[in-house]
């Protein structure tokens, strides 16, 4: 399945596609994935919509014939759904064309800008990590600096960090905390979203 999706979109690097879920029952297969070839520091909603539109027909009410044909020897594709995650989850687009429009007030509620990113934190197994995000991490024209913004910690796949992950983020205090164990040793990337 993954190879055919990779071929359908013409991705140059198969490692950029991550499987999120596979569920099978007697009648259906649910296959969810994310494509990491899109930008990660901003919500790449237009790119995501373009990929989604390649999977639907022109009217947008059935699966695109090209997608149906690549899986014809394996199974029949009945439907394609889009669910925004991570940075895009709470940023709806209010029209069918996928173009963000200004609210009636005329105010552009643009995304906060990263000014001083947290680049790398070194942590030893068994040691407590406690790190408060710098006040000048990001800035928003409407809400001001970091302390006035709502921050979220996401995985590199732009999903929320699960409660069983060694690294957690205290939104109220804007602080990373956790104790990595021997099994957590290695390099791991996360996204802190303003």
pLDDT tens track for 51-84:
888 888 877 678 898 888 988 888 888 888 887 7
Res 185: pLDDT = 84
Query: In this predicted model, which residue has the larger pLDDT, 87 or 82?
Result: 82
Res 86: pLDDT = 62
What are the structure tokens assigned to 38, written together?
């899109």
For residue 49, the tally of other CB atoms under 10 A from its CB is 17
Match 């643009």 to its residue by tokens: 110
Res 39: pLDDT = 64
DSSP state for residue 133 in the 8-state scheme = P
Task: Reply yes or no on whether the pLDDT at 190 is more than 80.
Answer: yes
DSSP state for residue 132 in the 8-state scheme = E
Q: Give yes or no for a contact between 98 and 46, defined as CB atoms under 8 angstroms apart.
A: yes
Q: How far apart are CA 96 and CA 94, in angstroms?
A: 7
DSSP state for residue 128 in the 8-state scheme = P
Query: In this predicted model, which residue has the larger pLDDT, 14 or 93?
Result: 14
pLDDT tens column, 116-174:
888 788 888 888 889 999 888 888 877 778 888 888 899 888 888 999 999 999 988 89
pLDDT tens column, 17-27:
777 778 888 87
DSSP string covering 73-98: TT-----------GGGTT----STT-
State which H helix or E strand residue 70 sits in: helix 65-70
Query: In this predicted model, which residue has the larger pLDDT, 86 or 144?
Result: 144
Angle separating helix axes 2-9 and 45-54, nearest 10 degrees: 110
């Amino acid at each position: 399945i993954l190879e055919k999706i990779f071929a359908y979109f013409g991705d140059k690097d198969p490692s950029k596609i991550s499987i999120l879920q596979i569920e099978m029952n007697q009648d259906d297969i649910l296959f969810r994935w994310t494509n990491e070839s899109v930008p990660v520091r901003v919500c790449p909603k237009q790119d995501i919509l373009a990929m989604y539109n390649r999977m639907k027909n022109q009217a947008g009410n059935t699966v695109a014939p090209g997608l149906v044909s690549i899986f014809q020897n394996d199974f029949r594709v009945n439907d394609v759904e889009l669910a925004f995650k991570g940075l895009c989850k709470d940023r709806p687009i209010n029209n069918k064309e996928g173009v963000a429009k200004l609210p009636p007030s005329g105010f552009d509620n643009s995304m906060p800008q990263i000014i001083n990113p947290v680049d790398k934190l070194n942590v030893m197994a068994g040691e407590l990590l406690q790190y408060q995000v710098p006040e000048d991490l990001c800035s928003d024209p409407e809400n001001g600096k970091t302390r006035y913004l709502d921050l979220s910690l996401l995985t590199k796949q732009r999903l929320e960090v699960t409660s069983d992950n060694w690294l957690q983020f205290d939104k109220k205090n804007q602080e990373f905390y956790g104790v990595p164990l021997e099994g957590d040793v290695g390099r791991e990337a996360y996204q802190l979203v303003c």
